[in-house]
A and B are shown apart, each in its own frame.
Chain A
Amino acid sequence: MTGAVLKPGTVADVQDAIRDAVMDRVPLAIEGGGGLSGLGRPMQTERTLKLDGLTGVVEYSPSELYATFRAGETLVDARAALAEKRQRLPFNPPDLTGLYGDAGGPATMGGVVAAALSGPSRVAVGAARDYVVGVGLVDGQGQALKGGGRVMKNVTGYDLCKLTTGAFGTLGAITDATFKVLPFANSEVTILAHGLDDAAAQAMMSAAFKSPFEPVGAAHLPASAAAAIGGAGGAGAITALRFEGFPDSLVYRTNAIRSFLPAGLELTELEAEPSAVFWEAVRDVAPFQAPDSRALWRISTAPTQGPKLVAEIAQSLEVDAFYDWAGGLIWLAVAVDAPNVGAEVIRPLITAQGGHGTLMRADQSVRAAVEVFEPLSAPLLQLTHGLKRTFDPFNALNAGRMYAAV
């Protein structure tokens, strides 16, 4: 964090701060708790607009399945508010601040939206973008705008909720967000397979989703990642399938699915509580949390391509990886002294397979030297620049955090 820190208490304060920044020609860094300030391209900012003072639940209607939080409401508090009514954010957003050590404050709901954070359940029920049904934001001219509303079905004008989700504050300062929420699962259980290599694990995970039994999570932790979180049933690689529902239905489905899985697997089960603990570790990327300081890539690809991609990368780089989303989400740690933390190896291989990669953690100098977000084709970069100019014509908001001038 550099220079002056502004802590608005109201939307009007946010508007004033942005207008002042434009007039003073001082670009703003926008953050919530600040715990993800190490994610993105380094910015040349002299003022920080810190939204962690915009706390609280604006509106919560459990029976109508929506909740509106101010941007600075912490993820922990938001989860607690919903849990009182036995409800939750279905996309199970991770708290990734643990990847960056103690640099910042707690994860906030504004950060969840800005960074489009989705947890293990994404593979089954959808991502942050699918559950953000309304946003309030202040654009780069200090105008307070709203997108979406409170209802799930809404095709009235352009979907600014999706555009804002994952824009890393480059299009506007998020002041509040409305989420579709759903009831808690009645119970959960996880089936574990032990000792599979990455390819066999992926085949098992795809097989599970080709059954009618609705797994809600599928992750594979090779031995080193499994060891890092410990406690999930002995040494060696583990492959996990998560199921949720009423207990009688869980018994039925976890038995019935076995006939869909490859033969000869050594299977054990995690009951409700250890299951929840295991998936929290996967969700928050526990195997690579600080004090691990290796560079960290987050790669999104077609699930069946995950192990192949990692194997190809591993031919040229020493890497440590684990898989969520049935193989479609890869967390990949690379030694910091690898040239450009492997960018020249990793990016072309991702391009060849289809998908995208984000350099989630690396020294500032590396993040200034290599693209942090997946490079865009010329027409898409042009559209991206056009949208940036539309929302933020003076480049006042998180300028350069995603791409040059965006």
Chain B
Amino acid sequence: MLYREAGEFKSTYQADQAILTIRQDRWFMWALLAVAFVLIPLVSSEYWLGTIMLPFLILALAALGLNVLTGYAGQLSLGTGGFMATGAFAAYKLATAFPELNILIVILMSGAITAGVGLLFGLPSLRIKGFYLAVATLASQFFLIWMFNKFGWFTNYSASGVISAPPMAVFGDNFVTGPYATAEAKYLFTLTLVVLFALMTKNLVRSNIGREWMAVRDMDIAAEIIGIKMLPTKLKAFAYSSFLCGIAGALWAFVYTGSVEPLAFDVNRSFQILFMIIIGGLGSIMGAFLGSAFIVLLPIFLSNAPHWVGLNIPVDLISHIEFMVFGALIIFFLIVEPHGLARLWQLLKEKLRLWPFPY
């Protein structure tokens, strides 16, 4: 009754091509953005903004990147952590070599550098497919981390191999990195970037590039027969995916933690992000955010919950319970909806359309 497109007529091509064609969807999205940009910074504590929302947004961006490659173009990748590290180290080298550069430029350039690295590691994808490609990208994960550990140049010869972000401002005194950046500034900066890139990705996957990716994903031979060139299509997916992952890595190192060692981007990070898109939904922008919320927020919620209800449980027991509940929930969701949380969201909307008179 409330959520129904009946009576909404499109009179222009523009309206027909809009991302959200149903009015209620548009309202919902505007409301969501208003909550994210205005309400959350107003009511949240520093703990919520800096410790919960920031990693959620940054990892959602990385999941978005991986979703382009794996969900849309069908190229299974385990190199996400390596690409994030590339972004982080590129940003560090740029920021220390050219201190006058604006942080936005540093982050975009580190994304571009990561895109280049992604292109390089995407080359084998023309010959290697499926699980074998996963193993090939796993090699990039280990190679990149090893490289940043091995060569002192990447860390400006720091004794420990740890990189640390200099204080940088977007404009004027609005620091987003370093000790004097406020949680609000960090959050809004990250949120703006993530929203812009999500919008860009959404449009990209609706364009002919995105359609080529999906054609390759669904059946590569058929795609080739209808005239899609394999190599450029796959490489575009690798480049764009690495671009987003690189930016996520740069944000992680600069805005979230401030200092980071290569081990922060080890293979576990790659798995974490792969699980996000599997649970969130392959081939869905919404899925990247839902998956990130599930993987990042749920454990924090589970480990805090006993305190909130006033139970005094030893910390090791809380940790173990957290693992068990988390694992059980993953299995539950994959049984209920193998296509991820995004599919559940879609089903909910379908049901809502018919409500209250289902047939």
Partners in one complex: no
Which B residues are within 8 Å of any A CB, using their own CB?
none
| Chain A interface residues (CB < 8 Å from chain B) | none
